[in-house]
Structure formats: C-alpha cells, structure tokens
Amino acid sequence: MATKINKGVKLLFLLFVLFLLIGCSAGNIGLVTTDLDDFEIQAIADSIKTAVENKDVDMFMSNISLDYSDSYGGTYDTIYTMAQDMVDEIEAAEEMAGSYGVNLSVNVSISNLIIVDTIANSDLKITVNAKLLFLTVYSYSMDFEVIFQKEDTGWKIISMLEKS
C-alpha cells in the first residue's frame, strides 16, 4: 500500500513539475494582447482622424515615433511632409467642394490588427468622402500597412507604408 502511495505522490509531483515547465515556457511565447493595447492603438486611429479633420499636422505627428523608419528609407521628416501634403490636398478639396455645396467627411479605420509583445501590425485606411446631402458623390481612400511599437509614452507608429 505504501508503494502505491509513493508512486501516486511521485506521479503528482512529476505532473506538477511538467505543468510548471509548460506554464513557464508558455509565458514567454510573446503573444501578449490586451484590451488596453487594442484600445490604445484604436485611439491612434481616432487621433489621426481628428488630426485630418482639423488639418492639424502636429496632432497627426504626435502618433508617430521619433524613431520612425520604413523599408523605403522614410524618416520622421518624410512622414511630416506626407502629413502636410495630405492636409494641403484636403484644404484644396474643401475649397472646391464648398463652392458646389458639397461637404467632406473623413473616416479612419484599423483592421487586421496583430499585437505581438511590444510590436503591432495593422492596416490603416483613411477615407475622404464628398457628400451632397446624404449622397456620396466622390470617395478617395489611402491604404497603409502600419507597424506600431510600444514605447515609454504608449504606442507609436514606427512604419507607415502606403499600399498600391
């Protein structure tokens, strides 16, 4: 009877060690997705939408990491120029649309978000619609592949490549 108890204790001990090892290794997989991370990244999309609506380049750039670099050699300054060009184009479109009684609306959405530890990847779509009453008369979209990095101050965009 004592040998059966000893074998049972040994079996329980081995199972405990096995589960402990599995638990430790599973903790290092790196797939750390939290609702807070999702919320913070969605807040970046909302901030970009507000920045585009208000034509505020500085607000747009507050979402971009100072360490920005992309595979095309883009830097923080390159994205600043892109944001300024986007604002200039929207201002010109607003002037033209206003003379015809057309209103512009902006929508920014994030899709296909994947978060792995301190890096996230997603698609970002900025759409500008020209509407006459409730009818969309023109729509223009810019699609980007975006990489985010979690920094001390929160999530920031470290790469933003326009899709063709």
Write down all domains in the chain, each with its CATH number in brackets: 30-162 (3.10.450.50)
pLDDT > 90? residue 123: yes
| Whole-number average pLDDT of the chain | 83
Nearest residue to 116 via CA among 33, 8, 27: 33
Write the pLDDT tens digit of every residue in 35-87: 889 899 999 999 998 998 899 999 999 999 999 999 999 999 999 999 999 89
- pTM score: 0.72
How big is the CA angle at 107 (ends 94 and 87), to the nearest 5 degrees? 40
pLDDT > 60? residue 25: no
